[in-house]
Structure 1
Amino acid sequence: MNWVHWALLSAAFAGITAVLAKAGTKDIAPNLATAIRTTVVLLLAWGIVLVAGKPEWKSLSGRAMVYLILSGVATGLSWLCYFRALHLGEASSVAPVDKLSVVFAIALAALFLGERLAWQHWVGGSLIVVGAAVIATK
């Protein structure tokens, strides 16, 4: 499988996540829901690492560790905001607006990683912004 297959699976699971998370946050605080979800993700991720074979700890640099820790902080903050939004809004509206993360990722990849943006990035990113705006203003 190439990156497109994995990205489509990620999108499918993200869609499933939105619906299940909305149902799960109905009667509990969003922060508790986020903590429960994070615990499950933590156990699942370490389980996969341990089952897949021995981790390559030697290849983990200090720089990589800093970036991964900062990514974890950003993920945690994103999830807290996402669950709060799901608690307050409809999953069919929250999830598409949350996908504006794609536009942020494109812009940040260009700014900080030096990735070159093609016209497809500009057109696709613009369509995502327009789509999120249309859904958010329904």
Structure 2
Amino acid sequence: MSLSWPIWALLSAAFAALTAIFAKVGVDQVNSNLATLIRTVVILIAGTAFVAFTQSWQAPSTISARSWTFLLLSGLATGASWFCYFAALKLGDAARVAPIDKLSVALVAIFAVLFLGEKLSLANWAGVGLIVAGVLLLAWKAS
């Protein structure tokens, strides 16, 4: 667990990429909502094992009401995202759906500025613009 945040972020990106590929194949002959439920059960089991293995358990009573509220909201947003993502994968090409889903990167930057008071430099804003441009180029289907 002593890896630096950039390594964890790169691992996250790699696993997210595999998620898109595996999900596209997996959702082929399954209702996208059921596929999302199956994925969620697997994540619950894997998350429980990870917490047990790393001895990361914390008594729920020690978690503040504010943390509970935002973790619950985050869970609801995650669920909504997954249901939408699987529906999109069922209907579209993974190579076009996944980049649009990754617009979340640009939206996080914008939301962090608006809601968390974070500051972005001109170069950071240029990066946000390039992400949006890249998404548009990847999602566009030439005839």
1:22 corresponds to: 24
Where do 1:1-138 residues align within 5 Å? 1-53=3-55, 55-57=57-59, 59-138=62-141
Distance 2:7 2:81 in 1: 24
Regions of 4+ moved over 4 Å: none
Find the residue that maps to 2:16 and give its secondary structure: helix
Distance 2:62 2:122 in 1: 36
Structure 1 unaligned segments of length 5 or more: list them. Answer: none
RMSD between aligned residues? 1.1
Please report the TM-score for the alignment, with normalisation by the length of structure 1.
0.95
Distance 1:75 1:54 in 2: 21
Find the residue that maps to 1:38 and give its secondary structure: helix
Please report the TM-score for the alignment, with normalisation by the length of structure 2.
0.92
Q: How far does residue 54 in structure 1 lie from its aligned partner after superposition?
A: 5.2
Structure 2 unaligned segments of length 5 or more: list them. Answer: none
Distance 1:137 1:36 in 2: 31
